[in-house]
Amino acid sequence: MHNTLNLAAPPKANPWKELKTLSIIIPAYNEEKTITQILDKIRSVLLIRDIEKEIIIINDCSGDNTEQLILEYMNLYKEIRIKYHALPVNSGKGAAIQAGILLATGEYLIIQDADLEYDPFEYNVLLKPIVHGFADVVYGSRFMGGSPHRILFFWHTLGNRILTFFANMFANLNLTDMETGYKLFRTDVIQRLYLEEKRFGFEPEVTLKMSRIRDLRIYEVGISYYGRTYKEGKKINWKDGVRTVWCIIKYGLLSSRHLKQEATVKTKQVSQL
């Protein structure tokens, strides 16, 4: 049975007055080809309402020069708020995101892949429903609107739509893109979620657990998408799709826990992930 604890604060007349900082979580694994480029893009973005940026990079035990490039960038641009944490072992994208969530101090946070598939210049598109007081969570959909999309694989698109359909069925939502990499959350809400998935199962888990929070306002906006091929470094495969199906069943039917214990929220450290 779903817990109906209401974590969503009532709408405010001027919500942007409370939104001073956006935390940007970058899970990175062997991204030496693109990590500097994505940081340059983020640095160049001017957020609406003069919102500041807090960049949080979680290195998932990369075996290439990702760490060296990050440290060099931090030394070169000392005026930028960058937090860096290296996981001791390769733990997966979900584990890296969880580590970043614990480090976030902004009122809202967004997940940014390091591979250039998602464009940081669209942060403001996702922020608009927030600053206008409509939303607590915003998903960036690759299947809405007229923004540019690289044409890639039919079966990936079909699989995404099927997975989104089943997630919607269990969550009682009408999302068009559950698997999107662009998800913007209220930090105080997502830090209360009990998250378990260490790899690509994070997407269905967070969606289904968010859906259990009464009165949480979830919005979708259209975004562009510059997808990679496997040759260019795309990491997700059919096994991750199977895992996603299992996660939808697990968190939609079998598991009722979606919130941390209060003491856990206050004391859990990144090193425990």
Q: For residue 153, give the DSSP letter.
A: -
Domain ranges of the chain: 15-267
b/e 234-246 (16+ beta carbons within 10 angstroms → b): eeeeeeebebbbe
Cα(266)–Cα(192) distance, integer angstroms: 10
Q: For tokens 């604890």, what's the residue?
A: 5
Cα(71)–Cα(66) distance, integer angstroms: 9
Q: Which residue has the higher pLDDT, 99 or 226?
A: 99
Q: What is the pLDDT of residue 3?
A: 47
Homologous superfamily of the 15-267 domain (CATH): Spore Coat Polysaccharide Biosynthesis Protein SpsA; Chain A (3.90.550.10)
Q: Which residue has the higher pLDDT, 152 or 271?
A: 152
CA distances from 36 to 1, 61, 146, 198, 229 (A): 46, 17, 28, 25, 20
State which amino acid sits at residue 106: G
Q: What is the pLDDT of residue 157?
A: 81
Q: What is the pLDDT of residue 231?
A: 54
Alpha-helix runs per DSSP H in 61-181: 66-76, 93-103, 123-131, 154-171
- Express as a percent the part of the chain with pLDDT over 70: 81
For the segment 239-262, what is each residue's pLDDT rounded down to a tens digit? Answer: 777 888 999 999 998 877 888 875
- Whether 156 contacts 238, CB under 8 Å: no
For the segment 153-173, what is each residue's pLDDT rounded down to a tens digit? Answer: 677 788 889 999 999 999 999
CA atoms within 13 A on the CB side of 73: 24
For the segment 185-215, what is each residue's pLDDT rounded down to a tens digit? Answer: 999 999 999 999 998 899 999 999 999 999 9
- The pTM assigned to this predicted structure is 0.87
